[in-house]
Amino acid sequence: MSRAAVPGLPSPHPIGDLLPALFADDDFAQRFTAGLDTVLAPVFTTLDSLPAYFDPRLAPADFVDWLASWVAVDIDPAWPVEVRRAVVERAVELHRWRGTRRGLTERLRLVLGVGAEVVDGGGATWSTAPDAVPPVASGGDVTVRVWPLGGQQPAEEQVLTVVRAGCPVHLTCRVEILPGPPGSSGRAEG
């Protein structure tokens, strides 16, 4: 979609109609204002539909990328426009769950159309004694298993890119690409 001059686009508010009656029959004034109408018509059209520009479902594709920067969402230009629209539309929710199992599985489903299972050792320790020595921390490994949801097998590099963006930096994330949901026959590890 272009927001430039559109040939033949009529102005919703022609300037010639707003001139005093003295200039209503003046050929030069009407031609001059018609030239201004040609320049201003796309501006009026854009302003009349301004709320649509702030709705990622309706905004032009190039504007969706700009909206993504407003809501601090990293989107890949290689993603289809509909995926980028969905990620921008759900930015607040994705930020709320960032770094969690739910956030990672939701982002994988939204961006790549895959099912995901996050296996995390997790845990917390505490002591009733002050200055107690904490126990040895378990390995910070997270295994992310993904499988296609009715589509083709996801590319390992795409999965790794999304996982790296959503996995907490203090954890090591491992990815397994499965042919189907866990528990089904046959596994392909990536």
Asked if residue 4 is part of any domain, the answer here is: no
Residue 117 located in a structural domain? yes
Three-state secondary structure along the chain?
CCCCCCCCCCCCCCHHHHCCHHHCCCHHHHHHHHHHHHHHHHHHHHHHCHHHHCCCCCCCHHHHHHHHHHCCCCCCCCCCHHHHHHHHHCHHHHHHCCCCHHHHHHHHHHHHCEEEEEEECCCCCCCCCCCCCCCCCCCCEEEEEEEECCCCCCCHHHHHHHHHHHCCCCCEEEEEECCCCCCCCCCCCC
Residue 104 in any domain: the answer is yes
Q: Of 48, 65, 86, which residue is a domain's last? A: 48
User: What range does the domain containing 33 cover?
Assistant: 19-48
pTM of the model as a whole = 0.68
- Pick the last residue of a domain from 10, 33, 48: 48
Instruction: Tell whether 60 is covered by a domain.
Output: no
pLDDT tens string, the chain, 190 residues long: the values are: 456 667 788 888 899 999 998 898 899 999 999 989 888 888 888 888 889 989 999 998 889 999 999 999 888 888 899 999 999 999 999 999 988 889 999 999 999 999 999 888 666 777 788 888 876 666 668 889 999 988 788 889 989 988 988 887 778 888 999 988 887 655 444 4
Position 153 scores a pLDDT of: 86
In the prediction, which pLDDT does 11 show?
Answer: 86
- CATH code of the domain containing 153: 3.30.300
Contact partners, residue 69, CB within 8 Å, separation at least 6: none
pLDDT at 136: 66
Q: What is the pLDDT of residues 22-65, one digit of tens each?
A: 898 899 999 999 989 888 888 888 888 889 989 999 998 889 99
Look at residue 33 and tell me if it is in a domain: yes
Q: How many domains does the structure of the chain reveal?
A: 2
Whether residue 13 contacts residue 42, with contact meaning beta carbons closer than 8 Å, is answered with: no
Distance CA 110, CA 158 (A): 13
Q: Is residue 112 in some structural domain?
A: yes
Q: Tell whether 38 is covered by a domain.
A: yes
